[in-house]
Amino acid sequence: MNNPLLARFADVPALIDPRSGSRFEADLSAILRHPRAHELMASAELNAGDGFWFAADDWRSMFRPYVVVDGILQVPVKGVLLYDFPWSFGSYATGYAYIARAIERGLADGNVRGIALIVYSYGGQGDGCFDLVNKIFAGRSVKPIKAFAQMAYSAGYAVASAASAITASSNAGIGSIGVVMTHLDVSRAMEDAGMKITFVHFGKHKVDGNSCQPLPEEVKSRWQAWCDEQGEMFCGLVARNRGIDVEAVRATEAECYSGSEALKLKLIDEIAPLDDAVTAFSHELSDPDDDEEGDTEMSTTASVPPAGQAAAAASAAVDAARTEGHATGKAEGVKEGATAERTRIGAILSSEEAKGRSELAQHFAFTTDMTADAAKAALAKAPKQEAAAPDALSAAMSQVKNPTVGADADGAAKDDAALASAAVKSYLGIRAA
């Protein structure tokens, strides 16, 4: 296997629709055929803690888009979803780290009223997926987050499910809530070629699952248990995110559904043309009198001035999320941990000490493990923020345009200038998502 991206999926649990195998391999191969792919992968900013968002005239900026249209940040969730890949590579692949950073920046951006996840993915790596799902779920306590899906299978659906609502197109593909592992046995081919591999190893299980020998039943059983554990976590997260019973999620047996079937199963909230739905999302948040049924959380958030938006939304949403988490009840470890995290975030962001210190409060909430009490004590001792002067990077970012959607980010310059520094510093705390 000479594709390092494809090799990531060998012998480990993956969250991908197996029917998409041909496209999956083609997309990962297309990335490496890009003339500057290796330069991009070797970029010093791959794991950097600062300088994440490039200036508009930097060729790498097209691989880290930040597109705000009418107050809605549009975050692509497309192609193969990859761990430790902080890029958005068109429709071929998207990194969990990039998605997390884009959402983090959007939550801190005063010009962003809501976040739209534009989902067209048949899945990806298990590594990092559930961490990102929990971050998105916590983030919807701060600002409205909706998903708009043409195709949301496996890891793609996991990410979409973390949003407060999912809109799917009329011919969408939804589901594949399951886990898959593969083992390649080349022992017969090697025997036919007159080759034999002998392993010399310390530890009984050191060479378990190697491709030069058939997979023993004992090893297969352990792998199955590994898959089952990941699958139960997946079902528990979807149940929590969607507010449905975990048994109903498990009963899907990783089936792939049409939009209408997914709607009946409550895996999505509505079927509509995606462009129209994104526009409607913007209008909902622009109209403080909008109390359309099913959008209580979003209407509340839209009617609050930006300075108090995070605190107002967090208190109500965190309480509701805590109740949901206890109701689903099957994946206790995952859900209790997520509930505690949301409670901690809400307590920090809604505290009196956070007023006038929102940038520092965001840092404590999203990029540290500080308890709410410790964070509030630190905030109380910190000076209140003053307006920040635009720096060169912020000014450059304000000129970014995305020709594929016709978005113009000029209106974001002033708030970006004040908040870009906080967003940049937060990367180390979320890069493993």
Quote the pLDDT of residue 160.
99
Choose between 103 and 315: higher pLDDT.
103
| Mean pLDDT calculated for residue range 103-107 | 97
> Residue for token digits 């590994």?
226
**pLDDT: which is higher, 103 or 411:** 103
Question: What is the C-alpha to C-alpha distance for residues 242 and 166, in angstroms, rounded to an integer?
Answer: 9
What per-residue confidence (pLDDT) applies to 390? 43
Angstrom distances, CA of residue 21 to CA of 80, 150, 355: 11, 18, 50
Q: Are 317 and 297 in contact (CB under 8 A)?
A: yes
Residue with tokens 């591999």: 197
Sign of CA dihedral 44, 48, 51, 54: positive
- The number of angstroms, rounded, from the C-alpha of 97 to the middle of its chain's C-alpha atoms is 8
Comparing CA positions, the residue from 429, 322, 297, 337 lying closest to residue 134 is: 337
pLDDT of residue 129: 97
pLDDT, averaged across the chain: 80
Which of 245-249, 294-298, 307-311 has the largest mean confidence?
245-249
Quick one: pLDDT band at residue 72, thresholds 50, 70, 90?
very high
- Alpha helices of 15-95 — where are they, by DSSP H? 21-33, 37-41
Q: If you average pLDDT over residues 38-60, what whole number do you get? A: 76
What angle in degrees, to the nearest 10, is found between the helix axes of 358-367 and 372-381? 150
Question: What is the Cα–Cα distance from 168 to 120, expressed in whole angstroms?
Answer: 10
- For 116, the enclosing helix (H) or strand (E) is strand 114-125
Domains and CATH numbers, the chain: 4-182+223-430 (3.90.226.10)
Q: Which residues are CB-neighbours of 342 under 8 A, at least 6 positions away?
A: 137, 138, 141, 317, 318, 321, 322
Higher-confidence position of 6 and 271: 271
- The helix or strand, by DSSP H or E, that contains position 246, with its residue range, turns out to be helix 246-250
Which two three-digit tokens encode residue 45? 């900013």
CA proximity to 262, closest of 373, 342, 169: 169
Mean pLDDT on 411-425? 38
Q: Is the pLDDT of residue 300 over 50?
A: no
pLDDT band at 133 (very low <50, low <70, confident <90, very high): very high
Percentage of residues in the chain having pLDDT higher than 90: 54
Going by the DSSP 8-state scheme, the letter that residue 35 receives in this structure is T
Mean pLDDT of 116-121: 98
Mean pLDDT lowest among 13-17, 45-49, 296-300: 296-300
CA distance 156 to 122: 6
pLDDT band at residue 288 under the 50/70/90 scheme: low
Confidence of residue 389 (pLDDT cuts 50, 70, 90): very low
pTM over 0.85: no
pLDDT (0 to 100) of residue 413 = 38
Res 370: pLDDT: 77
Terminal alpha carbon distance of the chain? 26
174 vs 147: CA distance, rounded Å = 12
Q: Is the pLDDT at 394 greater than 50, yes or no?
A: no
The closest alpha carbon to 241, from 124, 92, 357, 342, belongs to 342
CA-wise closest residue to 122 among 33, 32, 19, 26: 19
SS3 282: helix
| The predicted structure's pLDDT at residue 384 | 75
| Weakest-pLDDT range from 219-223, 240-244, 372-376 | 372-376
What pLDDT is stored for residue 289 in this prediction?
A: 53
- 42 pLDDT band (50/70/90 cuts)? confident
Q: What was the pLDDT predicted at 49?
A: 56
Contacts of 136 (CB under 8 A, 6+ apart): 103, 117, 145, 159, 162, 163
Of the ranges 30-39, 223-232, 264-273, which one carries the lowest mean pLDDT score?
Answer: 30-39
* Contact predicate 280/293, CB 8 Å: no
- Position 338 scores a pLDDT of 58
Token reading at 212: 């030069």
Q: How many CB atoms lie within 10 A of CB 403?
A: 7
Model pLDDT, residue 336: 56
Mean local confidence (pLDDT), 222-246: 96
The residue type found at 25 is E
**What are the pLDDT digits (tens) for 158-213?**
999 999 999 999 999 999 999 999 989 999 999 999 999 999 999 999 999 999 99
* pLDDT above 70 for 298: no
Cα–chain-centroid distance for residue 83? 11
> Sign of torsion, CA 127 146 321 244?
negative
What per-residue confidence (pLDDT) applies to 364?
76
